Structure 1
Amino acid sequence: MNDHRYNFRVNVTVILVIIIFIINNGAQFLLYSNQNVLAEALLDAVTTETVAQIRWVIAASLLTSAATLIFWGYFSDKYSKKNILIISSAIWIAACFYIFFDSKITYEGLLVAQIFFGLGFGAVWPICYSLLGDIVKPEKRGLVFSFVGLTMGIGMTIGLFLGSLFSSASYWRFPFLIISIIGCILIIIFLVIGTDLKKGGVEHELKDVLKEGAVYTYEIKREHLRTIWRKPTNVNLFLQGIPGMIPWAMILIIAPIFFQTLNYEENTANLIVLLSQSTNIIGAIFGGWYGDRLALRSQRKRLLFVGLSILIPIPFFATAFLLPYPTVGSDAGFGTFWTTPLYPVGFLLISIGSFFAGNAGVNWYTINSDVNEPETRATIISFHTVTDRIGNALGPVLAATIGPLLAIQTGRSDAWIIAIGTLFWIPCAYFWLRSMKYIDQDVQTMKTLLKQRAKELEQGLKSK
């Protein structure tokens, strides 16, 4: 009976954490659709300079998240993941409530609120992925993690949709209330029903001794913060994060504005970008499934697949935004997009690039579980997410910095920002391909360690 009750709470915990993950990501994207609205409402004008200031607000939450992620990851490995998730979620939910209820919020007030939002919202990433790593069999992790990537896409879609739906000076704060209420309900349910999960139960080297009644008692220690970097795979996949995320940040922030400058209305521009990026979700699912299949034969083939998948999108995205699109009539709608020359071609190019780019991220989380012991995975995920957050933050910062210069030189600053930004995928792919040299050794080191621990746990059972 106790096992049945525990299994029920485990299933509910996984579902709740994934839903919280969706809402958490949705909250992150609420401001992306309303950069012009916020510039008008808070800075009294829509210019290159004021929109750049709004992008600094978006960057502030990402940088704060990056600065605190290692803290959240380490304590998630050391203490109760349930309690850490509740505390961190309460922080970002409170920040969202503040944004809504301060009817006279200023630019400075929004900046402070976004900093507190960033303080809380990053913890769900290491918790969600390390939790799934504890309950999903190694040979199926890629596919399962790809569906978590799907939920991330759903969250992004919710955030962009709500932002677009309430894109006016009077109502832009309303989505923060919606997200806050949903977040509160989820956290209350999680507080009552959620549970912490047993570590190590799905590892092939440990599962037999754990079924006999042993308990995996190994915990993260401070020295692990140094030893995890002795594995070259960890180092390389840590370094790929910043250059890997800079192009995405630029595309998500600048692409809607790019289409608005061609006279498409704001909601239409957001919809165009959203639909063209939807293939990224399909790519993530395919990448997780195919990565698992390749890993059964060779981990090196998984890394080669990911490295090439990162390089392929570069010409597709660059070409898509540098095409000589004709300017359409004022406030053009979605129908005009499909009947105007070159726009459908650009849409197809973006969709193809998004599909291949989606193959990468999900395989990182799978490899992390393959080369690192259970008690360190949340910490390592937090290190990785730090680089993602820095890359996400640098995207709008670089766009705000080089945009005015490119506008003077080319007259098409948004298109060239994205085209130049995609070049950051080259060093990202390099670090993935470089990991091929070390992956087999690091996986074997992990397996040897778990076998040794299985013997120690078995001896502990016999001595009782």
Structure 2
Amino acid sequence: MSHDTSDIARIGSRAHIIYTIVVFVVLASLDNAAIALIPSMVPQLETTFGVGKAAVGLLTAAQIVVTAITAVIWGYLADSRSRKRLLLWGTLIWSVAMAASGVTESFPTLLGLQLLAGVGLGSIASVGFSVISDFVAPRRRGLAMSFWGLSQGIGTLVGSLLASQAGAGSHSRPFFMLAFAGILFAGLYLAAYEPPRGFSEPDLAALHAAGADYEYAIDPSQLRVIAANRTNRWLVLQGLTAQVAYGSLIWVPLLYQEKVIAQGYSDVTGQKVGGLFAAMFTIGALFSILAGHIGDRWQRRNLGGRAYVSAIGILGAIPFFLIFFWIPLNGLDVTEGASTMTYIGEVFSQLVTNPWVAGAFLSALTALALTSADSPNWFALISDVNLPEHRGTVFGVGNLVNGAGRGVGTAFTAITAQTLQKTIAPPLNLALSLTLFQVFFLPTGWCYWKAAHTAPRDIEKVRATLRDRG
């Protein structure tokens, strides 16, 4: 099939592409904001619904697993159908479920609505990745994907802040605010540009310049080819172990809330101040831009370079996470019952006047800077070693395994902490629980090391196929 090249210039202009990428990046951030809401307002949910931390942890884990399972289906559909329509429906599903979550007074109903939201959220991950990967050329893929990954980290930050501040008095407000944002950007997405598959592949440049389409789409017979790709196996397997550790980190806001309460402050003050500390500590994720750039440069010299960068980052972060978990907030000085704006100033003041707070910040900054090497290079590798019509499916499978690992980490960290609380008081029970789950980063580093050795062959195979088709 061919098309008018002037039409492509009109609907796929630079401004239109930038607009589309911005909308996608915001949607990706809202996805993670939605997942971060529940763990950041645990005290409020315990009071409102009369449940324990373990029940809230299981709810969060269940939503993550549902999101991951449905992402596989969304991803497969994205490799064969209109991705714009799929994303629109997915966004509307999770937005409506979030709005309904704000009015329910029943915990089982809240659970059901959050699982429904997970169905919609699954579309943002895999369908969004499929579209974004078509906008990005291989040479700058790590750098570009760092912004995609960073948007998800920002979303987690926004969700945590929204829940800990707006949700301190009522659980309804954060759900309503996020639902409104989702519906707003669903409307903005109607004007977005859907790129042809393989839009930025150098080996297909002549094809697109001639006004022709890359007409290949996935079908069930190709699933065996995807499974035979050795790098795919290592990239998917690393997610199982990595996300157990990452899933445990969703309880960091609660850890720091408990640290504030341990200094003699009320639960409400603990939720607000602890939430601000947790948000401030995520600044290290900004280093993903540098990590993506380093991955690009190493990849141009060695096709296994991205995997090496990820392995070094994951393994190097472990000791800094341990410091971050165990360092106390001795001498913390904030105003009991103050407003969020007052607390923001006091938290930043503590950063420069209290060595314990400064130590927590520096350890978190270093740990997150190192682990930030993971996501942009993983995203880029998925694109590098797979054909355009396979990327949504592979990402969906990877996201499924990631979700399973994250769900296990999220649920069992809460269960472990609650079990330890019988003999170890907060926040030490949470610190110990988080420490135990860091061991899962070790096999993750090994998987990346193996992927570094299989990636060159798989990348060359993809390039040769695209050259034949172009």
Query: Would you call these one fold, judging by a TM-score over 0.5?
Result: yes
Contact 2:78 2:130 in 1 (8 A): no
Give 1:459's aligned residue. none
Cα pair distance change 1:410/1:130, threshold 3 Å: same
Task: Identify which range, 182-191 or 4-13, moves more after superposition.
Answer: 4-13
Q: Following the alignment from structure 2 to structure 1, what is the Cα–Cα distance between the partners of residues 180 and 330?
A: 43
Residue 115 of structure 1 aligns with an amino acid whose one-letter code is L
Task: Tell me which amino acid in the other structure corresponds to 1:150.
Answer: L
1:12-50: CA deviations, max 9, x gaps? 332222222222222222222100110111116xxxxx0
- Name the CA shift for 1:131/1:307 in 2 (closer, same or farther; >3 Å): same
Say which is worse superposed, 390-399 or 258-267, in terms of deviation: 258-267
User: What's the CA shift string for 1:372-427, capped at 9, x where partnerless?
Assistant: 00011111111111122222211221112222343345542111111111111001
Residue 433 of structure 1 pairs with residue 449 of structure 2: yes
Does residue 302 (structure 1) correspond to residue 306 (structure 2)? The answer is: yes
AA aligned opposite 2:244: I
Aligned-pair CA distance for 1:152: 1.3
- Give the whole-Å Cα distance in 2 for the aligned partners of 1:293 and 1:75: 33
- Give the structure 1 partner of residue 400 of structure 2: 386
Aligned-partner SS, 2:244: helix
Partner of 1:160: 160
Between 380-389 and 338-347, report the one with greater CA deviation: 338-347
Distance 1:292 1:201 in 2: 19
Cα 1:186–1:98 change in 2 (3 A) is same
Is 1:7 the equivalent of 2:12?
yes
Aligned residue in 1 for 2:209: 211
The equivalent residue for 2:53 is: 51
**Bigger mean CA offset, 2-11 vs 359-368:** 2-11
The answer to whether the aligner puts 1:267 opposite 2:283 as a matched pair is: no
Q: Write the letter of the residue equivalent to 1:20.
A: L
Cα distance in 2, alignment partners of residues 54 and 331 from structure 1 = 29
Q: Which residue of 1 aligns with 2:435?
A: 419
Deviation at 1:78, TM superposition (A): 0.9
| Aligned mates of 1:13, 1:310 — CA distance in 2 | 32
How has the CA–CA distance of structure 1 residues 336 and 447 changed in structure 2, closer, same or farther, with 3 Å as cutoff? closer
TM superposition shift of 1:329:
7.4
Structure 2: tracts of 5 or more residues without a match:
1-5, 337-345
Query: Could you list the per-position Cα deviations for residues 292-311 of structure 1 after superposition, in whole angstroms to 9, with x for gaps in the alignment?
Result: 00001002233222101100
CA contact (8 A) 1:96 1:176 kept: yes
- 2:340 aligns with none
Match of 1:47 in 2: none
Question: Aligned runs of 1:104-119 on 2, under 5 Å?
Answer: 105-119=105-119
In structure 2, the CA distance between the partners of 1:244 and 1:34, relative to structure 1 (3 Å rule), is: same
**C-alpha RMSD over aligned residues:** 2.1
Aligned residue pairs, count: 444
Supply the AA of the counterpart residue of 2:36. F
- Given that 1:246 and 1:391 are in contact with CA atoms closer than 8 Å, whether structure 2 keeps it comes out as yes
| Structure 2 letter corresponding to 1:306 | S
**Contact 2:318–2:441 (CA<8 Å) still a contact in 1?**
yes
| Closer/same/farther in 2, CA of residues 197 and 407 from structure 1, 3 Å limit | same
2:289 is matched with which residue? 285
Structure 1 position 357, deviation (Å): 0.6
What letter matches 2:315 in structure 1? L
Query: Which of 97, 109, 123 does residue 99 from structure 2 map onto?
Result: 97
Q: Distance in 2 between matches of 1:158 and 1:322?
A: 25
Q: TM-score, normalised by structure 1?
A: 0.90
Residue in structure 2 matching 1:228, options 217, 223, 226: 226
Identity of aligned residues (%): 24
Q: What amino acid is aligned across from residue 84 of structure 2 in structure 1?
A: K
What residue number does 1:37 align with? 44
Q: How much does 1:369 deviate?
A: 1.1
- Corresponding letter in the other structure for 2:34: A
